[in-house]
Structure 1
Amino acid sequence: MTKFLGTGVALATPFTSSNEVDENALRRLVQFQIKNGVDYLVVMGTTAENATLSKAEKELVKTTIKQENNGKLPLVLGLGGNNTAQVVSDLKTENLDGFDALLSVSPYYNKPTQEGIYKHFEAVSKASPLPIILYNVPGRTSSNMLPLTVTRLANDFENIIGIKEAAGDIVQAMQILRDTPSDFLVISGDDMITLPMLLAGGAGVISVMAQGFPAEFTKMVNLGLLKKTKEAYAIQFELMDGIDLIFKEGNPAGIKSVLELKKIAENNVRLPLVEASSELKSALSVFINQLK
């Protein structure tokens, strides 16, 4: 699945000042990614604030992105949950036309055992008409999908093609890289350790930072894939302060402030999230100006 090598971007959902989906800004955001060389787009991930979108709004976002992308980049759809039966039902009823794969998060809140996680993804795999990228993000799910479970899933189900590994643990990432099949995609879900994961054999990243800095981040990833270590780390070190800043007050408040500073979209978020503080906006402005 070489279409998912390199830099994937987890798209935000721009909102107007009246808290409606901003279609024009969303189109600008998609074009910004395409023009700056990212490899694929992730739709309806955590960064999209999909937990606060209605079903109609989700359809609007998906349709707008597909229209604006117009087949230029592969599209990955976020589709997961903590009710296995509901996820399976959604896979049977959801319009998946135009999407190349699914990103499916490990069940959250319930805190299942490793066997529960395995059984969940067994059901999802059997129901899915598209390839599946697992998503492990213990900071949000309160449940870590361990390397042994990932390896079992990678070996047992042909349509489970990779994992977005966002535990922030380079040792765990290395264990997954070591133990899974050679064609299994181990994708960084943590911007700060993308490069070390790449150099250890990772397939790339599904990034938040790249959304605001697609040219810079994509160049770093491409250099990493080529094992041009010195040049790649030079970019990594330039981006590190910005990565810290965009997550300082939560995601996507930080990256939406970057998009506002770059005149792509307003920085509106939906409750229970709140927009970035004036101090953070100021610090991001300084970072952007220094990076130029």
Structure 2
Amino acid sequence: MQFQGAYTALVTPFKNNQIDEEAYRALIEWQLEQGINGVVPCGTTGESATLSHQEHKKVISICVDQVKGRVPVIAGAGSNSTTEAIDLTGYAKDAGADAALLITPYYNKPTPAGLVAHFKAIAKEVSIPFFIYNVPGRTSLNVMPKTVARIFREIPEAIGIKEATGDLKQVSEVVEECGPDFIVLSGDDFTVLPLLSVGGHGVISVVSNIVPNMMQTMCKAFVNRDLETAQKLHHEMSPLCRAMFMETNPIPVKTSLAMMGKMEKEFRLPLVPMEPGNEESLHGILNTTGLV
């Protein structure tokens, strides 16, 4: 199975309110050197909501070009507008992405039938493998297991899901409904190891922006049935996982990367820098774990 293990939900570095291509390419190269299994440009962590469509496409192109086929690229290409999602997904395919990550339509909150129709419309226009991105904390819409199974049955391009509910009961039901050929990736760094234990295949991770080797090693250890190592790494990463969500993602992880000297500490409004006290606490955690 091609899409398994640890995938980093890449941040998008900015400099003077422009995409910092040099820092972005360097981050991707470092991720590959650290053994990451794949990368995901233009997800939530990549501040896709504040990228223009032109910038969105540029970020995907840079990522695919830098990776050069060494690991799979799952490009964020979703939208709450089906027409926009078709356009972005078509670009991701033409750019050479291996798959697309398609968020469920946010704000307009479609019915289950509307969800199926949305993904069918995209697949009809652009045939590329895609992952459903279920993140109800962002979209106010939770795709239930039976709906996921229907999408999987009716749309050949639907190969998996990024499941970011943090609900292991729901994850288990998705695996039960869809079977082992449906790729279930965690979208929640806190539950990667337990998700693997119920039949999941890996993670699209925030914390792996700063510790790619630890996350991919934990996933690999589980596959190799080295539970002692997997559990040890799970607990070692837990303080970092908590720190990455001290404030709205991706504020803490971009701040961490800036502290590590990998990019400028710059965000797009409405995101703003961390509160000073939180930033001080974050620095202490990174210092304790040897990252700064």
Pick the TM interval, shorter chain.
over 0.9
Letter of the structure 2 residue corresponding to residue 200 of structure 1:
V
Letter of the structure 1 residue corresponding to residue 280 of structure 2:
S
Matched, 1:183 2:181: yes
Letter of the structure 2 residue corresponding to residue 171 of structure 1:
K
Deviation at 1:62, TM superposition (A): 2.3
Structure 1 residues 87 and 68 mapped into 2: Cα distance closer, same or farther (>3 Å)?
closer
SS of the equivalent of 2:199 reads coil
1:93-128 residue CA offsets vs partner (Å, 9 max, x unmatched): 666232100100011001112221122112222222
- What CA distance in whole angstroms lies between the structure 2 residues aligned with 1:242 and 1:54? 31
Number of aligned pairs? 290
Letter of the structure 1 residue corresponding to residue 5 of structure 2:
G
- What CA distance in whole angstroms lies between the structure 1 residues aligned with 2:265 and 2:116? 38
Matched, 1:276 2:288: no
Structure-to-structure mapping, 1:12-161, within 5 angstroms:
12-16=11-15, 18-92=16-90, 96-161=94-159
Deviation at 1:220, TM superposition (A): 1.1
Alignment-derived partner of residue 232 in structure 1: 230
Maintained 8 Å contact 2:180/2:199: no
Deviation at 1:30, TM superposition (A): 0.5
* Greater alpha carbon shift after TM alignment, 23-32 vs 273-282: 273-282
Maintained 8 Å contact 1:3/1:40: no
- What CA distance in whole angstroms lies between the structure 1 residues aligned with 2:226 and 2:151? 32
SS of the equivalent of 1:46 reads coil
* Greater alpha carbon shift after TM alignment, 45-54 vs 83-92: 83-92
What is the TM-score when the length of structure 1 is the normalising length? 0.94
Structure 1 residues 35 and 61 mapped into 2: Cα distance closer, same or farther (>3 Å)?
same
Give identity over the alignment, percent: 37
- What CA distance in whole angstroms lies between the structure 2 residues aligned with 1:54 and 1:179? 37
Maintained 8 Å contact 2:106/2:139: yes
Alignment-derived partner of residue 193 in structure 2: 195
Deviation at 1:61, TM superposition (A): 1.9
* Greater alpha carbon shift after TM alignment, 122-131 vs 180-189: 122-131
Letter of the structure 2 residue corresponding to residue 229 of structure 1:
L
Runs of 5+ unmatched residues, structure 2: none
Alignment-derived partner of residue 207 in structure 1: 205
- What CA distance in whole angstroms lies between the structure 2 residues aligned with 1:35 and 1:78? 23
Maintained 8 Å contact 1:188/1:197: yes
- What CA distance in whole angstroms lies between the structure 2 residues aligned with 1:229 and 1:93? 40
SS of the equivalent of 1:7 reads strand
- What CA distance in whole angstroms lies between the structure 1 residues aligned with 2:165 and 2:7? 18
Maintained 8 Å contact 1:108/1:141: yes
- What CA distance in whole angstroms lies between the structure 2 residues aligned with 1:75 and 1:291? 29
* Greater alpha carbon shift after TM alignment, 273-282 vs 146-155: 273-282
Alignment-derived partner of residue 169 in structure 1: 167
Letter of the structure 1 residue corresponding to residue 58 of structure 2:
L
Alignment-derived partner of residue 5 in structure 1: 4
Maintained 8 Å contact 2:10/2:209: yes
Deviation at 1:278, TM superposition (A): 2.4
Letter of the structure 1 residue corresponding to residue 2 of structure 2:
K
RMSD of the alignment, in Å? 1.6
Runs of 5+ unmatched residues, structure 1: none
Deviation at 1:89, TM superposition (A): 4.4
* Greater alpha carbon shift after TM alignment, 81-90 vs 125-134: 81-90
- What CA distance in whole angstroms lies between the structure 2 residues aligned with 1:14 and 1:72? 22
- What CA distance in whole angstroms lies between the structure 2 residues aligned with 1:111 and 1:282? 38
- What CA distance in whole angstroms lies between the structure 1 residues aligned with 2:217 and 2:92? 35
